[in-house]
Amino acid sequence: MNVNFQPDVDIRKSTGWVIALSIALIVLGILAILLPGIASAFFTSVIGWITLISGGVMIVQSFQSKPVRGFWLNLIIGIFYAIAGIYILSNLGSALLALTFAFGVLFIIEGIYTIIMAFTHRAGHRMSWLVALNGVVTLILGIMVLNRFPYSAIWLIGLYVGISLLMSGTSLLAAALTLRRAASNHSSLGS
C-alpha cells in the first residue's frame, strides 16, 4: 500500500488550525464543566436562536416557493419554529427545565431499550454484557436526573456539553498530532 503524503509544510499548516480548534474545544469543555450553570443557560439560548432563525428561514422560504405545493405547511411550521425560538429565549429557565426533563426521560428509555437489546438480541455477541452494562449506567443516569429534578437542570446540560466538548477536542488533538507525527516520520524516511 502506497500512501502519498502532502509536503510536510502543508500538513503542518493544515494541522495547526486543527490543533488550535481542538485546544479551544478542550478549554471550552473545561469551562463548561467548571461552570455548568452558565454553560446550560448558554446552550439553551443557542438552541433558542437556532430555532428562531430556522423559523424565519422557513417563513421566507415558504413565500419564495409559493407556487409549489406545501406553502401553508411550510409557513405554519416556520411560524411555530419562530414562536418556539422566541419562547425559549424569553423563558430560559423553563426551557432549561424542559430540556433536562426530556434528557432524563430519554436516558431512562434508552437504558431500558439497551438492556433489552443486550439480552434478547445478544447485541454485541460475546460482549453483550458490556452492552447491558451501558444500558444499566444510562438507566441510572436517567433516574438520577429525574430524581434530582428540577435541581439537575442547573448543571446537567452544561456538564454534558462540557464533557462532549472536552472529549471532541481531545480526540481531534490526538488525531492531528498523529497525522503530524506520521508526516514527519515519512519526510525523515524520504530524505
CA distance linking residue 120 with residue 134, whole number of Å: 15
At 29-83, the pLDDT tens digits run 999 999 998 998 998 999 999 999 999 999 988 888 766 677 788 889 999 999 9
Asked whether the beta carbons of 180 and 12 are under 8 A apart, the reply is yes
Q: How far is CA 44 from CA 35, 80, 105, 151, 183, in A?
A: 14, 18, 18, 16, 41
79's grid cell: 411560524
pLDDT value of position 1: 47
At residue 144 the predicted structure's pLDDT band, cuts being 50, 70 and 90, is confident
- 31-47 burial, b for 16+ CB within 10 Å, e for fewer? bbbebbeebbbbbbeeb
Among 86-90, 116-120, 124-128, 145-149, the range scoring the smallest mean pLDDT is 124-128
Residue 72 counted as domain residue: yes
119's grid cell: 439480552
Q: What mean pLDDT comes out for the span 138-153?
A: 85
pLDDT over 90 at 131, yes or no: no
Residue 46 counted as domain residue: yes
pLDDT over 70 at 98, yes or no: yes
Residue 3 counted as domain residue: no
Number of domains, the chain: 1
At residue 4 the predicted structure's pLDDT band, cuts being 50, 70 and 90, is low
CA distance linking residue 141 with residue 61, whole number of Å: 41
- How much is the mean pLDDT over the chain? 83
Q: What mean pLDDT comes out for the span 107-124?
A: 81
Cell 414562536 found at: 83
- What 3-state class would DSSP assign to 3? coil
Cα angle, residue 165 at apex, residues 38 and 115 outer, rounded to 5°: 105
Residue 151 counted as domain residue: yes
Q: What one-letter code names the amino acid at 111? A: G
Residue 104 counted as domain residue: yes
Residue 53 counted as domain residue: yes
pLDDT value of position 53: 95
CA distance linking residue 146 with residue 66, whole number of Å: 45
**Structural domain range at position 95:** 8-190
Residue 1 counted as domain residue: no
Residue 2 counted as domain residue: no
